[in-house]
Amino acid sequence: MTPLFAALLLTGSAFAASLEYAATDAYVDVSEGGVPVLRYNHRSTAVPEGIGPELARGDYVSALYGLDGELLTDDYPKDHPHHRAVNWSWATIRWNGEDRDLFAVRGILARPVGKPRVTSTDGSLVITAESQWKWDDETPVVAEAVTIRIFPQEESGRAVDFDITLNALVDGLEFCGRLEAGYSGFNIRMAPAPGQEIVFHSDAADMQPRRAWADYSSAFSGGTGRSGLAILQHAANPGYPQEWRQYPELNFFQPIYPGGTPIPLSKSEPVRLRYRLWIHRGGADETKMDEQWDAYNNTSSR
């Protein structure tokens, strides 16, 4: 067991299917049967040696693990130290004629509101947290709420659901990904590993149901073979099916919303984004991925 999760044996709270957690003001660690599952950082993470303190950031999953406890994601990679495991941060936040960059941690940061809450639902663990995006780390301009639901491991894998809502707190605010290029938003930086394979799937407009999923697999260090992580888009997401984007040389993949052109963020009508991560052994199996997409969309349509 890694030191990161050693405290679970003493401080964790157990629910059905042996999911456990340890929570502080700063983060929530989740494990199952002594095997780490993930860490959600509500407050800023510790900056590694050699990385500038200005890149400290919170409000993201800083570590996501495979079914055998192998680390699937990367945080503070040397080539792009602003990249961070599993996160939802946008490169263009526009207000009063100026731009700030939440993705690159420039001029705007997600700051915690209160403490993260952990509850149990039907054998799963649910982390709920609120943050405010602060312009120049002073003025709150966006209210964010995230719910992360971690399901017990099944024979075929594990599901982790993300439900993100965004509301503007000021008039005239716009947001998008990197201008023109469109990347950032809900994105994942994977750990370097041999045998990388990235698969994208989006059904044609006349297909019913119209599925959209992506899968990334490699032989990650500490695993027993090839492991994979899939992103399943929820059909109720704005812009569905969202365009897929990959940067294989950076071990980076994501769905893109809203793209590279700023759109208004309302004070009264929130943007809601939902994704399921499916952690599995082996590479992408199209039939199984379709089944997982069906299960996700049939059980979370409300």
* Amino acid making up residue 299: T
The reported pLDDT for the residue numbered 300 is: 62
> What tens digit of pLDDT does each residue of 226-268 get?
999 999 999 999 999 999 999 999 999 999 999 999 999 999 9
Q: Residue 241, preceding bond cis, omega within 30 degrees?
A: yes
Instruction: Give 18's pLDDT tier (boundaries 50, 70, 90).
Output: confident
Residue holding tokens 């590479």? 283
Whether the CB-CB separation of 167 and 140 falls below 8 Å is answered with no
Tell me the C-alpha distance between 278 and 229, whole Å. Answer: 6
Choose among 66, 76, 9, 6: nearest CA to 41: 76
Tell me the C-alpha distance between 182 and 210, whole Å. Answer: 23
The reported pLDDT for the residue numbered 176 is: 99
> What tens digit of pLDDT does each residue of 282-294 get?
999 999 999 999 9
Whether the CB-CB separation of 110 and 133 falls below 8 Å is answered with yes
Residue holding tokens 């500038």? 52
| Average pLDDT of span 80-92 | 99
| Average pLDDT of span 79-103 | 99
Tell me the C-alpha distance between 278 and 25, whole Å. Answer: 28
| Average pLDDT of span 151-164 | 97
Tokens encoding 141: 């301009």
Q: Is 268 helix (H, G, I), strand (E, B) or coil?
A: coil
Q: Where are the alpha helices (DSSP H) in the chain?
A: 8-11, 286-299
List of domains in the chain:
3-299 (2.70.98)
Residue 5, pLDDT above cutoff 50: no
